[in-house]
Structure 1
Amino acid sequence: MILSFFKRLNIWSKERFPLINLITAIVMVLSTKLFLTSTPLVLWGVADIAAVLFIYLHFFILRVLDEHKDFESDKIFYPDRALQKGIIQLQEIRWMGWLAYGAQVCLVVFVLAKDLQTYILYALVLTWTFLMFKEFFVGSWLRPRILLYSTLHLLVSPLMLIFVIQSLTLPLLSVKTGVVLLFSLASGFLFEISRKNKTPEQDQKGEISFSLAWGQGTTALVIFNLSCLNSLLMILICLQAGISQWATILLAIPSSLLNMFHQKRLRSFANTPSLAFLKKAQDLSGLVSIY
């Protein structure tokens, strides 16, 4: 029975909560420490690992809440998903969400919380997450306004980073911190807009998407510009962190190549919107967003 559950959970997680979430959490904490400590040597301790787990667990909590919030609409738009097909039950996902929340609270109480301000910031993260789940109590008005809807939901990433910065006793009020928060927001927008870029056939089903609101060409252009901004911010973080110019150049070369391939795939999808081209473009968007 237990083995069966973990097999079913694995099927669901591959589809709805893949490994890229853990990689993203590591990159968020690593880039933050690199930039705000201005040193190329980042020593990882218990608090740093706890910060990664905090972000990773919160990503999971957000996914569980989304599965509950969108369960009925996903039956219409995505009937082949594991949850909608009954491979795993909503109640089972809910219990996993509660376990993740319990583990996160333990990390906060026993490792990350340094003072009252840290607890207040954690409460702010939880409050914003609850408002996201409730769609800020104006869901029917907010959902058609997809850019505003996405912006409000993506603000949880900077809020998580502010909590992490405070818990790791890094400088909170500085221009550098603003750059780090902008990087997390740009990465989030890149991933979110790519995720909600659909084929014409998918748009015809009526689900709200950026491609439906803006058109294929404009959406592709926005995604490409965000990927370039993301790469520039990462290079800035590397330079500020004290990494040598040659090492930064070596990092910039694959970043530039990624953006070139990304542009090519976005152009291919804009010219010939198909699921095959869309999947390739979305895979590259995910890679660029964490590079």
Structure 2
Amino acid sequence: MIKRLHIYFKEMYPLISRFFLAIIYFFEIYFLLLLNKNIYDFSIGIQEWIGVLTVFIFLMVLRIADDFKDYEHDKRLFSHRPLPSGQVYKKDLAITLVFVVGLSFILNLVFMNNFAWYLFLFIYGTLMSLWFFQKDKIQNSLPLALITHNPVMMVLNIYILSFVCFKYDLPLVSWTTFLLAFTMYFQSLIWEISRKIRAPKDETEYVTYSQLFGYEKVTRFVRNLTLIDIMTNILLLWNLSKIGVVFIVLNVIWMMVQFQQFIKDPNHFKLVDRVERYTYITEITMVASVIVHLIQMRLNL
């Protein structure tokens, strides 16, 4: 079983890189909220690392749940993947789910201050795995699947925000929490749509947004979402790092050029590759700006 799970996680959910991603995801929201509220007297302990572990486990659960949901579909279109190819068994993944969800449940119940939001997060994730009891309608409609499934990332953001707000006695509903809930959500939304935009010659029986609505129209939609997303980033960074704002603006200008080039010639590159590069640069800029600001403030204290 261990060997089979190693094969699965290596391909579908690389543990080390995903845990590192969970650290960045959690602490980016954590510090952006605190710094925008001018809170510099903070302490990082076991609760924060349980929060990181919860993010890591929840994203793992989503990955495994998707493989269960799409098993028959993947047997036809992605038969090389570990589960449909038989390299890992459903039982292996089911045992893993029980263990990691049980672990996160106990840790959140005992140590965390936002257990209700933890329950809401995992209940939403469970309903997603069950297609909200409307499998025939949702599975056969890509837009409906997006509308019902993608908001889970905002719920994950609110899980983190609620912990920080309760710990530091901050209001859960504020302009800053609103921006943070949406800025991280938009990035996942942009990526999710972009990975299902293809050039006409690359379309297969796999249903994509470009197949349903035309690659030009969907690309323009993602471009507009990117402009909205970048405004939330600028507002969050404005009082922390003007240099960071400059880098973000330059990055989004570059991305606008990529969108336009793809609309003119969709055969030149895969849009999702450029979107991922843009996202990485944006996130690196946000994280670097937070770190630099923290160092500056510590030196001034």
Smaller-chain TM-score bracket: 0.7 to 0.9
Query: Quick one: which amino acid aligns to residue 197 of structure 2?
Result: N
Q: Paired residue for 2:33? A: 35
Q: Aligned-pair distance for 1:218?
A: 1.6
1:150 matched to 2:143: no
Closer/same/farther in 2, CA of residues 259 and 166 from structure 1, 3 Å limit:
closer
- The residue type paired with residue 102 of structure 1 is G
Structure 1 residue aligned with 2:290: none
| Structure 1 CA distance for aligned equivalents of residues 272 and 161 of structure 2 | 35
User: For the aligned residues, what is the CA RMSD?
Assistant: 2.9
Deviations 1:158-203, CA, capped at 9 Å, x for gaps = 2223233333314212232222222232122112111222343453
After TM superposition, the score normalised by the length of structure 2 is 0.78
The residue number in structure 1 matching 2:92 is: 92
**Partner SS, residue 207 of structure 2:** coil
The residue that corresponds to 2:273 in the other structure is 280
Alpha-carbon distance, 1:62 to partner: 0.8
SS of alignment partner, residue 228 of structure 1: helix
1:190 is matched with 190
**Identity among equivalent pairs (%):** 18
- Residue 141 of structure 1 corresponds to 137
The aligned amino acid for 1:139 is: K
Which structure 2 residues correspond to residues 108-127 of structure 1 after superposition, within 5 A? 108-112=108-112, 114=113, 118-127=114-123
> What's the offset of the Cα at 1:265?
3.2
> How much has 1:150 moved relative to structure 2?
1.0
Retained in 2: the 8 A contact 1:211–1:219? yes
* Aligned counterparts, 1:49-64, within 5 A: 49-64=49-64
Shift in alpha-carbon separation, 1:126–1:286, aligned structure 2, 3 A:
same
The aligned amino acid for 2:232 is L
Q: Give 2:243's aligned amino acid.
A: L
Q: Identify if the C-alpha distance between structure 1 residues 28 and 217 changes in structure 2 by more than 3 Å, giving closer, same or farther.
A: farther
Equivalence for 1:259: 252
Partner of 2:211: 212
Note the residue ranges of structure 1 that are not aligned, 5 or more in a row. none
2:225 maps to 226
- Name the amino acid aligned to 2:49: I
How many residue pairs are counted as aligned between the two chains? 278
What runs of 5+ residues in structure 2 fail to find an aligned partner? Answer: 287-301
Amino acid at match of 2:258: R
CA distance in 2, matches of 1:20, 1:220: 28
Contact 2:13–2:63, Cα closer than 8 Å, also in 1: no
* Aligned match for 1:162, one of 158, 165, 176: 158
Amino acid at match of 2:100: A
Are residues 2 and 78 of structure 1, via their aligned partners in 2, closer, same or farther at CA, if it must alter by over 3 Å? Answer: closer
Provide Cα deviations, 1:212-269, integer angstroms capped at 9, x if missing partner: 2221112212222222222221221123xx42xxxx2321233233323323333343
In the alignment, the residues of structure 2 paired with residue 67 and residue 275 of structure 1 have an alpha-carbon distance, to the nearest angstrom, of 31
* TM-score of the pair, normalised by structure 1: 0.81
